[in-house]
Amino acid sequence: MKKIAAAILSLCIILTFSATAFAQTTDSGGTTVISTVVPDSHTITIVADGAEVSLDGTPGTNFTVDRLSEHTLTFKAGNGKEIKKILLNDEDITNKITDGKYILEGVYEDISITVITQNDGNNPNSPLTGDKSNTWLWFVILFAAGTAALCTKSYGRQKSNKY
Amino acid sequence: MKKFIALTLVSALALTASITAFAATITQDTSDPKTTDTVITTSIKPTYTVTIPADVKVVFNAETTSFGQIKVDSAQIEPDKCIKVSLTTDGKLKNTSDKTKVIPYTVKSGENTFTSATYLATGEYTDLTLNITKADWNKAYAGDYEDTVTFEVSYENKA
């Protein structure tokens, strides 16, 4: 009898057992890492046709310098040339050149220097064509041809008046 | 011993017993109909999954870098609640060799600095960008820089 009672009680416990369901509030998230690398050196590339460029007194076209280091660029035009324009990463720095020198204060990126030159004495606004012929000769020929044409016409008119 | 077991079982039964809710019975014995209300209640736990940005490496000299997005992948939330995602950051990338050398940055959503956002439904998202000014890049010393930001996701009352 007792066993039956215990079995019934056990069965009742099992049947009536309830598990409490809590609302799940998730207060979570996560972390994210942001990173970057700042280089310890930069390159200076020089394109100068008709001029010589030196970095701290050393001529050349490609240099590697420490980041945030200071340097002096010296510009010297070649024979028969003069410097027309100097570009630093496409920025015109011609007016910032003093006595042919430019100070790079704290290099913080790769630099490209472009030096544009022109022949001495030429009008900087005239494009070079490569035609070296004397233009005055063509004017002399033109004048002579015009004179000859007028003379021929005048001679023909006088001749026709005689008849 | 048996009495003790029986007593324990009875106590357990008493503690875990639940009251059965019977359906309301309407007895119509007159021409006047009777009505009664039955309240049915249930509880569905709120669930949501939010994606936060992964680790990102900023390219040197990049002024704007995509930081991915915060996106609600799934959300079953109560009508008066919302999912809030907050960003905690000091806004400085620290040099791994010298913590005094830093590069300031901002996390933006569009044109505005991002601090937090709330979401109500699946599919809602916020695009984020990392912004470092040209001036700050130019002043930065060489080296590796890093910072850890924390996204906190919480379930809150709708504002």
Per-residue pLDDT tens for B2-56?
777 777 776 766 666 655 545 555 555 656 667 888 888 888 888 999 999 999 9
Residue pairs spanning A and B at CB distance below 8 A? 132
Contact A82, A57 (CB under 8 A): no
pLDDT of residue A26: 40
Partner-chain contact A18 B18, CB within 8 Å: yes
What is the least distance, in Å, from the CA of B29 to any CA of chain A? 36
Q: Which residues contact B43 (CB under 8 A, 6 or more apart)?
A: A21, A23
pLDDT of residue A13: 55
Angle between helices A2-16 and B2-16 in degrees, nearest 10? 20
Q: What is the pLDDT of residues B41-99, one digit of tens each?
A: 888 888 999 999 999 999 999 999 999 999 999 999 999 999 999 999 999 999 999 99
Q: Which of B45, B93, B151 sits opposite A32 (nearest CB)?
A: B151
Mean pLDDT of B111-126: 96
Burial of B76 (0-12, 13-18, 19+ CB in 10 A): exposed
Burial of B106 (0-12, 13-18, 19+ CB in 10 A): middle
In this prediction the pTM is 0.64
pLDDT of residue A126: 55
For chain A, positions 25-64, list CB contacts with chain B under 8 A.
Answer: 25-41
Mean pLDDT of A115-134: 69
In chain A, what residues touch B74 (CB-CB under 8 Å)? none
In chain B, what residues touch A107 (CB-CB under 8 Å)? none
Partner-chain contact A108 B13, CB within 8 Å: no
Of A14-23, B12-21, B40-49, B110-119, where does mean pLDDT reach its minimum?
Answer: A14-23
Partner-chain contact B144 A37, CB within 8 Å: yes
**How many Å apart are CA B125 and CA A135, to the nearest integer?**
74
- B42/A96: higher pLDDT: A96
In chain A, what residues touch B146 (CB-CB under 8 Å)? 33-35
pLDDT at A122 over 60: no
Contact B73, B51 (CB under 8 A): yes
The verdict on B1 touching A (C-beta cutoff 8 Å) is no
B1, two tokens: 């011993």
The verdict on B80 touching A (C-beta cutoff 8 Å) is no
Q: Which of B9, B140, B152 sits opposite A10 (nearest CB)?
A: B9
Partner-chain contact B45 A21, CB within 8 Å: yes
The pLDDT > 90 percentage for chain A reads 50
Using CA atoms, how far residue A61 sits from A58, A85, B137, B151, in Å, is 10, 17, 26, 49
pLDDT at A133 over 80: no
pLDDT of residue A17: 45
